[in-house]
Amino acid sequence: QVQVQESGPGLVKPSETLSLTCAVSGYSMTSGYYWGWVRQAPGKGLEWIGSTHHSGTTYYNPFLKSRVTITPDTSKNKFSLNVEFVTAADTAMYYCARFESSVLRAFDIWGQGTVVTVSS
Amino acid sequence: QTVVTQEPSFSVSPGGTVTLTCGLSSDSVSRRSYPSWYQQTPGRTPRTLIYNTDIRSSGVPGRFSGSILGDKAALTITGAQADDECEYYCLLYVGGGIWVFGGGTRLTVL
């Protein structure tokens, strides 16, 4: 059974870097699929952050691209998210998810999410 | 700036049929937008309902169906039930490897 699980600090100070990791189990990232991040600010809708492939091909939300990096680590079967220069607007639930890009063209496996609060 | 539009809210009677739509601010939605639909109850992880326009996810009841209606993607619930009351989001491909979620539709069943 394929599972993804987010981890990382729940509190980040303004102007610092938010770093999260998504561990993949039950499936090897090198076998395919894209792997992505989605966030949801309190009381708001879902926001696509970006997706990465084990080959290194990565796509980002244009509005976040200047601050966001998503990196696959196939040796540990995980991928990470870094968001630089965070502000209160980056406070959100962050989900990692698997994205099937050939036939289904959608997120099919979701993590439980991790709450990140930006505050001093 | 590409905006994906959804009705902010919708209401349906139990047993009734409702169609939620998903559009683009500056273009038509087609199968090449690869629309997918997600259901989310408060405090829970999103659940994938529909892949690539009209492929129902495993375990999703048959009363949920996806399609293209005119220039929008559509999610139809036929025979709505009380536990269908939640938020629904669509996701569209807008080119260049970029995907955009709609703002969500809050469905009330009453």
Q: Do B102 and A106 touch (CB under 8 A)?
A: no
Query: Is the pLDDT assigned to residue B35 strictly greater than 90?
Result: yes
User: Contacts of residue B91 in chain A, CB cutoff 8 Å?
Assistant: 46, 48, 106-107
pLDDT of residue B58: 95
Hey, what amino acid is at A115?
V
By Cβ distance, the residue of B47, B50, B52 closest to A103 is B52
Average confidence (pLDDT) over B49-57: 97
CA distance A60 to A64: 7
Average confidence (pLDDT) over B64-88: 98
Phi, psi of A16 (to 5 degrees): -90, -175
pLDDT of residue B9: 98
For B93-106, what is each residue's pLDDT tens digit? 999 999 999 999 99
CA distance A26 to A34: 15
Contacts of A65 by beta carbon, 8 Å cutoff, 6+ apart: A50
Contacts of A77 by beta carbon, 8 Å cutoff, 6+ apart: A23, A24, A25, A28, A29
B72-78/B17-24 β-pairing = antiparallel
Q: Do A38 and B101 touch (CB under 8 A)?
A: yes
Using CA coordinates, name the residue in chain B closest to A48. Answer: B100
Q: Do A104 and B98 touch (CB under 8 A)?
A: no
Q: Do B96 and A59 touch (CB under 8 A)?
A: yes
By Cβ distance, the residue of B34, B46, B100 closest to A110 is B46
For A20-47, what is each residue's pLDDT tens digit? 999 999 999 998 899 999 999 999 999 9
By Cβ distance, the residue of B48, B87, B97 closest to A107 is B48
Task: Report yes or no: B22 and B102 within 8 Å, Cβ to Cβ.
Answer: yes
Average confidence (pLDDT) over A67-82: 97
Task: Report yes or no: B40 and B87 within 8 Å, Cβ to Cβ.
Answer: yes
Of chain B, the end-to-end C-alpha distance in Å amounts to 36
